[in-house]
A and B are shown apart, each in its own frame.
Chain A
Amino acid sequence: MNVRPEPAFEAPWHAQVFALTVALNEAGHFAWAEWADTFGATLKAHGVDRELDGGEDYFNAWLAALEVLLKKRGLAEAGMIEDMRSAWEHAYLSTPHGAPVKLQKA
């Protein structure tokens, strides 16, 4: 019997947000227990009105929890995240198809 292993991450951003969290924890910006508490509370809040399936919605909760922790620690403010997200969106929309997408930094 040869079972093909499931991919560890279904989407590239799942892997990226996972790696960011692990790297920040390792650099000492928060303890893993603190992360688990924040993430657990976020999962609970997201799962109040529907059942989370452990896939995309799980990483949506992961991302929301990371944003909460970063804001709490003053590492990334809400406005800054919004601005940077818009900058990336603009970069994608103004880059010709097929060309590498780069952020235009002020």
Chain B
Amino acid sequence: MPHDHDHPHAHLPSDPALRVKALETILTDKGLVDPAALDEIIDTYQNKIGPKNGAAVVAKMWADPAFREEMLNDPMPRLQEMGLYGRQGEHMVFVENTPETHNLVVCTLCSCYPWPLLGIPPGWYKSDAYRARSVREPRKVLAEFGVTLADGQKVRVWDSTAEVRYLVVPMRPAGTEGLSEQDLAGLVTRDSMIGAGLALEPKT
């Protein structure tokens, strides 16, 4: 389509975008933040960190019983070794799904989330609807995500805080005995590590 109307000046960003620019300028001028550090933070969360990190850990837990034991007991030493430590992942707790209990993670206060393992949370995790309803009616919320729990399987909801973040270890699907850790990791979705999904079934 031809661009036939005049643009006498640059496109004006939205009001919040202008306010963020203002804050960035003020804080940079005061020497409180370094623009290069800001770029580095954005690049990290946009391109480098994501649910693949958590999936690799879960796959290793499935494949290595001693590692699983350690992670359920206190995941921090091994996470530090693996370089999966840092911002908003300083104190992690891994909660394992079993035939008796399904775990679901929420942050009712704001949107606390284990960044080093899962990256930045999806929109629905941050929505009022999820934050309020996952505590009140978790089974209904799970059903909307397409997760139907077995009769008698309890749901336990974990409320993240600024101090403690939770990661759900989904149940290992049947028929995955021969798979490599890497192939197993491919079955571990972001949603399954929040508890809003199950691990994928292996391709036959």
Contact = CB atoms under 8 A, between A and B. Distances in A.
Interface of A: 1, 5-13, 15-20, 22-24, 26-27, 29, 32-33, 35-37, 39-40, 43, 47, 51-55, 58-60, 63, 66-67, 70, 75-76, 80-81, 84-85, 87-89, 92-99, 101, 103
Q: Size band of the B side of the interface?
A: 35 or more
B162 A16 contact: no
Interface in B146-204: 161-163, 200
B127 A52 contact: yes
Contacts of B13: 13, 92
Contacts of A76: 23, 26-27
Contacts, number: 168
Contact of B23 (A52, A81, A97): A81
A97 B50 contact: no
A13 B128 contact: no
A24 B33 contact: yes
Interface of B: 7-14, 16-27, 30, 32-34, 37-39, 41-42, 45-46, 50, 87-88, 109-112, 119-120, 122-130, 161-163, 200
A66 B7 CA distance: 33
Given A23-B33, A58-B111, A15 B46 contact: yes
